[in-house]
């Protein structure tokens, strides 16, 4: 049975992040993708120049319309933008905790633009994090959620992962891509303890949408029945291939997208 996975996120017209990246990752991982829009952005590989928000009630209406008709096997939540939308998403999903929910706390765009209003952090923490099967912050996002300095080493990463899990998520994956050095380790905190995933840093500027892509791949694997640890291993391997193949694309002049279909497309076809 092909699984159905819903993304609740913003749109990236350049196709590298947001809903567009989510749907590509879903397809690449063999699940049927659906999308609820929370925001329209004006952006490209060089940055975000504008954001137009969807009214919170209409975000909830979209979610309810999908659930009223379609079996949903997992949900990925990305950009929620403000407190009203966070409230609407939480309200629509509160009674649907029997399916995996992956939350990628999108707070700052690759170019530095703020994608989450400060007052929304409290709603995200109080209402959405307890719904999460898996939370996937990078180092600046983990620090912002905890109101702490950004982690600069593995010990700080592990401590912040455990503090975030204490806020309600069943599991937390703190991503170490912002660490200095050639390594890019991630740490997964679950009820069973901590598990580290090691990776070498890929020397490329084409990393637009990596967080969206990873969290969507995680949702796809959870929908197929993988445990959190199994899903992270599979999704990280998929993302590593997508980043390594990013140079095969010629999209924009800034931070280009990853190659979501690296295992399916051949050069020139």
204 is a catalytic site residue:
no
Distance CA 180, CA 189 (A): 22
10 is a catalytic site residue:
no
Q: Which of 209, 224, 236, 256 is catalytic?
A: 209
Q: What is the separation, in whole angstroms, between the first and last Cα of the chain?
A: 29
Distance CA 17, CA 13 (A): 9
Distance CA 231, CA 224 (A): 9
| Count, residues in the chain | 269
190 is a catalytic site residue:
no
76 is a catalytic site residue:
no
Q: Which of 45, 136, 190, 207 is catalytic?
A: 207
Query: How many Cα atoms occupy the beta-carbon half-sphere of 255 within 13 Å?
Result: 16
Matching residue, tokens 């590989």: 45
Q: Which of 38, 125, 190, 210 is catalytic?
A: 210
Q: Which of 76, 110, 175, 236 is catalytic?
A: 175
Q: Give 186's contacts (C-beta < 8 A, 6+ positions apart).
A: 173, 174, 175, 176, 196, 197, 199, 232, 236
Strands 186-190 and 172-175: antiparallel
8 Å CB contact between 8 and 203:
no
CA distances in angstroms from 12 to 23, 139, 267, listed in the order given:
12, 23, 25
Query: Can you name the residues that pair with 42 across neighbouring β-strands?
Result: 50
209 is a catalytic site residue:
yes
Handedness of CA 154, 156, 157, 159 (dihedral sign): positive
Q: Which of 33, 76, 136, 212 is catalytic?
A: 212
Q: Which of 10, 15, 84, 211 is catalytic?
A: 211
Q: Where are the beta strands (DSSP E) in the chain?
A: 4-11, 32-44, 47-53, 74-77, 101-103, 134-135, 172-175, 186-190, 193-197
212 is a catalytic site residue:
yes
Q: Catalytic residues, which ones?
A: 175, 207, 209-212
């Amino acid at each position: 049975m092909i699984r159905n996975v819903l993304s609740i996120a913003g749109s990236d017209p350049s196709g590298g992040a947001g809903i567009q990246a989510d749907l590509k990752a879903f397809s690449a991982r063999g699940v049927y993708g659906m999308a609820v829009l929370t925001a329209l952005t004006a952006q490209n590989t060089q940055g975000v120049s504008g954001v137009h928000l969807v009214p919170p009630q209409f975000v909830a209406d979209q979610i309810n319309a999908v659930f009223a008709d379609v079996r949903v096997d997992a949900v990925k939540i990305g950009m929620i933008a403000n407190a009203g939308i966070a409230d609407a998403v939480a309200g629509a999903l509160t009674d649907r905790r029997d399916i995996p929910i992956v939350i990628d706390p999108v707070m700052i765009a690759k170019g530095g633009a703020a994608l989450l209003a400060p007052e929304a952090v409290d709603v995200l923490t109080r209402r959405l994090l307890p719904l999460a099967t898996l939370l996937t912050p990078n180092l600046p996002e983990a620090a912002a959620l905890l109101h702490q300095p950004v982690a600069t080493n593995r010990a700080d990463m592990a401590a912040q992962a455990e503090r975030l899990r204490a806020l309600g998520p069943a599991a937390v994956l703190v991503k170490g891509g912002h660490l200095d050095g050639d390594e890019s380790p991630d740490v997964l905190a679950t009820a069973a303890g901590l598990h580290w995933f090691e990776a070498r840093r890929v020397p490329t500027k084409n990393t637009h949408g990596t967080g969206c892509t990873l969290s969507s791949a995680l949702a796809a694997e959870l929908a197929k029945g993988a445990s959190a640890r199994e899903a992270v291993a599979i999704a990280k391997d998929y993302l590593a291939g997508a980043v390594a193949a990013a140079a095969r694309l010629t999209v924009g002049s800034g931070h280009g997208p990853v190659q979501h279909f690296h295992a399916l497309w051949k050069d020139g076809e």
